[in-house]
Structure 1
Amino acid sequence: MIPIIDTHLHLIYPDCFTYPWISQGHPLNRPWSIESYLDEARPLGIEAALHMEVDVDEADIEAESRFVLGLDGIAGAIAACRPENPDFPRQLESLAAIPGIRGLRRILHEIPDSVGQTPHFAESLRRLPAHGLTFDLCLRPDQLPLGHALVARCPDTTFILDHCGAQDIVIGDLDPWRANIRALAELPNLNAKISGIMAYAGKNWTLEALRPYVEHVIESFGWDRVVWGSDHPVVTLGGSLTDWVTVTREIISGASTEEQAKLLHANARRIYRL
């Protein structure tokens, strides 16, 4: 079994941090610990994980990353950030000084489109290479052209497109998503993450419904520029971690062992410097 590095694990500790987006009735409104994740992940071949920030309250950003980096099985962390703020250089220096921080993320579909298109926002992201940090792009499908413009403005920054660029899609409705993915793949400093789509497919997902999204992203970006992520526990809105690993391995089963290894762990080690 080819081992996996999970590049997109969320851990939720409501007793430690504030999550403004998790309401009282939200299906994820409970603790999601590293212990419960590893109990399911390790038998599936997941050997290590990168923690992906969980959009905690801004005051908790540094504390969240420091906390998760002390947990068993966590190989690194992607921290939240606010590139739109005037004091971003100070925030960047503070985050970059934390051992184990491998990249940053600002969820762009939760802020006005105009915010991510300002000269200051791009200037902020152009500061990341000096610290060896990547930037994860989290966009709705209708924002993909905006993502293209942002990545093009930061040619020396390494980006990773989260969730196949397919948030809020209707499974089976592939256009204009396909064309936008092909255009994004032309940017050499952008990679893509095979993750997220099971949650967007809902409880009635099928392997064949998910296959076109995975295959098109891999075909567009190539085996050297794709990584894999569980999006746990968000994945549970559609299936389970076990379901997603099983589906992924089945979809890529026709690829060579080397190609599968690139997606499942080798590219993650290189892109995130693990």
Structure 2
Amino acid sequence: MEIIDAHLHLPRTQRPWDHGDESFLDLQGELLVAQLDAAGVDVAVLVSHPLFAPGAGCEAAVARHPDRLAAVLQLDETARDVAEQVARLRTRPGILGLRVTTTWPPGNSGRLRAGAYETLLAAAERHRVPVCLLATGDLPGVAVIARAHPSLPLVVDHLGLAQPPYQTPDDPAWRDLAHLLALAEFPNVSVKLSGAPTLSAVPYPYPDVWPHLRQVLDAFGVDRCMWATDQHRVSGRLPGLDPLPRYPGYHSYAQGLHYLLDRLDLSPAEQAALFGGTARRVLGVP
């Protein structure tokens, strides 16, 4: 069975690298591919971020490993030619779609409702470019987009929930799950299950997480859910950010895969969709 990780970033090296940007990018790609190989993962989708995962670096990594990596880019929604950039996006090898953050920086949720992203979103809908959404704490904002752009493929990152180590989970951690489940009424909305083990209160294989994920699978259907890890956020190895001590939600890459892959109550058809088929179809992984 093919396995696709639908959400990763390029990793930070354990020690400082003083040998130039090009060789650092080569090293990041090699580290990432070695991680995929060790876990038995076939393909990873890199998600760009202006602070720790610049789009140019993601695109260069994809060019170096076109059979293993693809990418989702974040564009400047205020650019005068943003519609033209969106139209050209899918002509760039290995580039699958866009990433929009509605909750960061502060005020983006209000800007979204005021129409700041309308040109970008309309162009994405017109050209069938998937949009991944970091919408933690503002899942109703996803409903606004889904309702206004019914043929635009939307993907909610990280279940739309606050997750450690860079966010403080809600109390209880799954408090806003109902807001996510409400989005299932929109057929153009899909969900990444990324980072779910960070919300567990018990050790691997995190049995307390499963009832919540089963609700998500039942509400959306497995053909609108995709496995992902965001492992370098989980492990505190995002470039440009300080290393983090171990915290309760920390888990290894293998644990982030096998807590779901080894569940006996997932049918072969559900596994095939969750671990690759949905990402192929919704994100257009080549």
TM bracket, shorter-chain basis: 0.7 to 0.9
User: 1:206 Cα shift?
Assistant: 6.1
How far off its partner does 1:79 sit?
0.7
The answer for unaligned runs of 5 or more in structure 2 is 164-168, 237-249
User: 2:228 matched to which residue of 1?
Assistant: 229
Provide the C-alpha distance between the structure 1 equivalents of 2:90 and 2:3, rounded to a whole number of angstroms: 26
Task: Say whether the 8 Å CA contact 1:164–1:195 is kept in structure 2.
Answer: yes
Query: Whole-Å Cα distance in 1 between the matches of residues 217 and 32 of structure 2?
Result: 27
Give how far 1:158 is off. Answer: 0.3
Whole-Å separation in 1 of the counterparts to 2:181 and 2:283: 23
- 1:75-131 residue CA offsets vs partner (Å, 9 max, x unmatched): 421011122444422432454442221110022221312112223413421211343
Alignment partners' CA distance in 1, 2:177 and 2:272: 25
Question: Structure 1 residues 260, 204: CA separation in 2 closer, same or farther (over 3 Å shift)?
Answer: closer
**CA–CA distance in structure 1, aligned partners of residues 29 and 264 of structure 2:** 29
What is the letter of the counterpart of residue 152 of structure 1?
A: R
In structure 2, C-alpha distance between the alignment counterparts of 1:110 and 1:166, rounded to whole Å:
14
- Counterparts of 1:112-123 in structure 2 under 5 Å? 112=107, 113-123=109-119
Match of residue 145 from structure 1: 140
**Structure-2 change in CA distance of 1:201 and 1:80 (3 Å):** farther
One of 82, 93, 112 as aligned partner of 1:99: 93
Q: Decide which of 78, 82, 88 is 2:72's aligned counterpart.
A: 78
Tell me the number of residue pairs that the alignment of Structure 1 and Structure 2 aligns: 256
Q: In 1, are the aligned partners of 2:181 and 2:219 still within 8 Å (CA)?
A: yes
Change (3 A) 1:203 1:36: farther
Alignment counterpart, residue 162 of structure 1, candidates 157, 172, 175: 157
Asked whether the 8 Å contact 1:122–1:153 carries over to 2, the reply is: no
How far is 1:261 from its partner? 0.6
Tell me the SS of whatever aligns to 1:40: helix
1:67 and 2:63 equivalent? no
TM (norm. structure 1) is 0.81
Find the partner of 2:103 among 91, 109, 114: 109
Percent identical pairs in the alignment equals 23
RMSD: 2.9
Partners in 2 of 1:41 and 1:57 — Cα distance?
20
Preserved CA contact (<8 Å) 2:134 2:156: yes
* Contact 1:199/1:236 (<8 A) preserved: no
**Contact map agreement 2:4 2:279 (CA 8 A) in 1:** yes
The residue correspondences of 1:1-274 to structure 2 (distance < 5 A) are 2-12=1-11, 16=21, 33-56=28-51, 60-61=54-55, 63-72=56-65, 73-93=67-87, 95-111=89-105, 112=107, 113-140=109-136, 142-168=137-163, 169-170=169-170, 172-175=172-175, 177-199=176-198, 207-237=206-236, 238-250=250-262, 252-273=263-284, 274=286
- Once the two structures are TM-superposed, the CA of residue 156 in structure 1 deviates from its matched residue by 1.3
- CA–CA separation in structure 1 for the residues paired with 2:52 and 2:35: 28
Q: Secondary structure at the match of 2:265?
A: coil
Could you list the runs of 5+ residues in structure 1 that have no partner in the other structure? 18-30
How far residue 166 of structure 1 moved from its aligned partner, in angstroms, is 1.3
3-state secondary structure, aligned to 1:209: coil
- For 1:200 and 1:84, the matched residues in 2 are separated by 35
Name the CA distance, whole Å, in 2 between partners of 1:210 and 1:259: 18
Q: TM-score, normalised by structure 2?
A: 0.78
Q: 2:77 aligns to what SS in structure 1?
A: coil
Distance 1:114 1:257, change over 3 A: same
Pairwise CA distance, 1:203: 9.6
User: In 2, Cα distance between the equivalents of 1:205 and 1:256?
Assistant: 21
Distance 1:205 1:43 in 2: 19
Whether contact under 8 Å (2:6, 2:226) holds in the other structure is yes
